[in-house]
Each structure stands twice: as structure tokens, then as C-alpha cells.
Amino acid sequence: MDDAPAPRPRRGRPGYDQETVLRRAVELFNRQGYDATSIGDIAQELGLTKSAIYHHVASKEELLGAALDEALEGLTRAVATAAEDRQASAAQRLRATVEESVRILAAHLPAVTLLLRVRGNSAVELAALERRRQIDEALAVLVQEAVAEGALRDDVPPDLISRLLFGTVNSLVEWYRPGGPLTPDALAATVSALAFEGLRRP
Amino acid sequence: MDDAPAPRPRRGRPGYDQETVLRRAVELFNRQGYDATSIGDIAQELGLTKSAIYHHVASKEELLGAALDEALEGLTRAVATAAEDRQASAAQRLRATVEESVRILAAHLPAVTLLLRVRGNSAVELAALERRRQIDEALAVLVQEAVAEGALRDDVPPDLISRLLFGTVNSLVEWYRPGGPLTPDALAATVSALAFEGLRRP
């Protein structure tokens, strides 16, 4: 797994690299909404003038695109890795994917939060929604395989299982904050234990 | 349970009652964000002039408050009803509350969606967040009772169970749309079966 985003080439004024500008912009997008945030707001957040910010980025859409790529790359890799592991059963691969999705959400929380709020208001957002749709489709296929294999209950349609399972994972952005006593690994193990084994005492 | 919102007194021009104005305003809030929606936008949505809309409502905050009340009243009643039923075990009451919360979410989907997006930007929003906090607290107590009773697994802290359980319920607003083949009752039964019994084939 990949806890830290890949380093980006430094450019611009001392004290700010592209990575920092991106982090702070994404925080601002999540706090006040992407559409309500202007390049001027981002400049102000960083203590830069509006013309200085254009030294770092061409547009706020470039920042949105970079954040959505960050979130989507992690999730796409989690699904692809699971699909390739043909030694494991579909149920084991599904469980590994759920756990890896939780870890990616924790490691890239602001970017994943932004991704989950995208509605398709621009070409960049529509492209991100299309990539999310492909991820959801791959997850639904994995659930279907696990049901067909006989490991999962067959009284609930696989696409409904998939929506509820990854709805639970996505709901973590509403309250989980890394750095507390609940580590991403412990959270991942709890989410998958409850999803697969249920709340009832065995 | 309470499928239809209580009728509100009719007032205003023929063709629009308070209820219709509220419905359409909430749709608009959910579509473009509450903060980004003006009274002028709501008037335009209804084909009214800005001065005519003030015949129906005093402010957009009044509409927000009415929608949040609608969502909160249903959820508060679901939790209170479960708490009162002292014939049932805590686990049975928890399960009934999960199912009733799903039905309320389905019956009041636009209002609950709006509630779940509130961030606390005004007195009305802060009051709604405080009522949500009280509901979450009552739910956490119910989970705690069910764990103490021995019916639920005790290897996961009750507050984490509560967050994951109602995180799953809340995530339904992202994709569930009533009127399709999946009825609110069937959805409620599926959510509670998966949560309590898990995905694994018994």
C-alpha cells in the first residue's frame, strides 16, 4: 500500500511547493465547497497574491483534477491488485479490497472526500465520475464472483451488497480522522469483520 | 411509521401551497447547495417573481429550518419509540431502529439528504447539528445496551459499531431512489440483515 502521495517536482516560491498548494486548496474545497472557492480564496489561504498563485497553478480546475487523480489512482490500484490475485478466492479478494479501500481513504482522506462530493459540473468532474463508475463496476463483479463461489449469502442481489458495502466504506469520510487511537489498519479490520461476520455475537 | 409528511396549511397563490414551495426549494438546495441558492433562484424555479415568493416564505432559512425539522422529527421519533418499548431486548430495539431509520430516510429522502450535508454555517444549522448529536448519542446508548446484554459482539467498541451502522444507513441517500423495484421495507430488511448477520453465508 501507498501511504504517502508521490512527491511532486518543487516549483515556485520558497516555502510553497506544488504539493502544499494542492493540500491547502483541497482543504479549502472541502470546507467551503469547490464551486464556492475562487483562485483568489486559495491565494488568500496561502498568503499569496492572486497573480503569485498563477505561478503555482494554471487554474483551480487543475488542482481539482490532481486531487481527484490522487483519490482515483489509489482506489483503482486496490481493485486491480485484488483482481490479479488468482491464488485467493473471490471472497478473500473482496475482503482484501474492502480493507485496502479503507486504508486508501484514511491515507488520502481530503482527496477521497472531494471525490465523493463531485456531481459532474465540468469535464474534469464527469471524467472522475466515469472512473468511479468503472471502479464500482469492478467491485460489483467481485461481489458477484464471491456470491457465485458460495462464500457469501445469496438472498441479497450482488449489486445491492456492493452498494451497501462500499457505502459503509465511503461513509467513513464523515467522521474518521487519522492520528487518533483508531489506526487505519484497525479501522480496516473492523469494517471488514462487521461487514462479513455481522454484529451478532457468534 | 409515517410515509407522508404531515400536511401543512395552504396559503399563497393558487397552484402553490407552502408544501410545494418547500419541496421545490429543498430539491434546489440539494442540487446546487444551500449556500449557493438564493431566494431569487427559488422564485425562478417556481416561475414566480422574487416579490411573489415572499408571499410564501419569509426567508430561505425558514425553508431550510422546515426541511431539517421534517428530517429530525422522523428520526427522533424512531429513536424515542424504540427506547420506550421495554418488552423488547436492546438488540431487537436496535434492529427496529435501524429499519425505521431506513424507512424514514426513504420517505423523507430530500429532507434527510439536506440534513446530512449541514455543516453548521448558521444558528438554524447549528441547532440541527445539536439535535443530530442527541440522536447519535441515543443510538450509541442503545448499541451499548445491546452489547452489554450479550446479544452483540463485544470485540468492537459500541461507539464504533454505532458510527459504522448509521454510516451505512446514511450512505443510502447517495444512491437509493424510492419508486423503483426495491421498496423501503425490503431495503430496511436487507440493511438490518446484512448489519446483524453479515455477508458470509451462514
Q: What pLDDT does B4 receive?
A: 54
Residue A189 has pLDDT above 70, yes or no: yes
Q: What pLDDT does A7 receive?
A: 53
Average pLDDT over residues B55-74: 95
Partners of A152 in beta bridges: B200
- ∠ at Cα B5 (B112, B39), nearest 5°? 65
If asked whether residues A171 and A118 sit together in one domain, one would say yes
If asked whether residues B142 and B167 sit together in one domain, one would say yes
Contact B110, B30 (CB under 8 A): yes
**Domain count of chain B?**
2
Written as one string, the DSSP assignment of B158-196 is HHHHHHHHHHHHHHGGGT--TTSSS-HHHHHHHHHHHHH
> Could you tell me which residue, B2 or A92, shows the higher pLDDT?
A92
Domain that holds residue A53: 7-58
Contact A152 B200 (CB under 8 A): yes
Residue A202 has pLDDT above 70, yes or no: yes
For residue A127, the one-letter residue type is A
Using a CB-CB cut-off of 8 Å, the residues of chain A touching B202 are 153
ipTM rounded to 2 decimals: 0.88
DSSP code for A43: H
d(CA A97, CA A152): 15
Average pLDDT over residues B69-92: 93
Euclidean distance between the first and the last CA atom of chain B, given in angstroms as a whole number: 31
If asked whether residues B22 and B100 sit together in one domain, one would say no
Average pLDDT over residues A140-164: 96
> Could you tell me which residue, A83 or B43, shows the higher pLDDT?
B43
Confidence at A74, pLDDT banded by 50, 70, 90:
very high
Confidence at B6, pLDDT banded by 50, 70, 90:
low
Give A201 to chain B, closest Cα distance, Å: 4
Contact B150 A197 (CB under 8 A): no
What is the average pLDDT score of chain B? 91
If asked whether residues A145 and A109 sit together in one domain, one would say yes
Checking phi first, is residue A19 left (phi over 0); if not, alpha (psi -120 to 50) or beta? alpha
For B196, the closest of A153, A164, A198 (CB atoms) is: A198
Residue B12 has pLDDT above 60, yes or no: no
If asked whether residues B103 and B187 sit together in one domain, one would say yes
Phi, psi of A200 (to 5 degrees): -65, 140
Contact B170 A171 (CB under 8 A): yes
- What does the block give as the cell for B17? 401551497
CATH of residue B135's domain is: 1.10.357.10
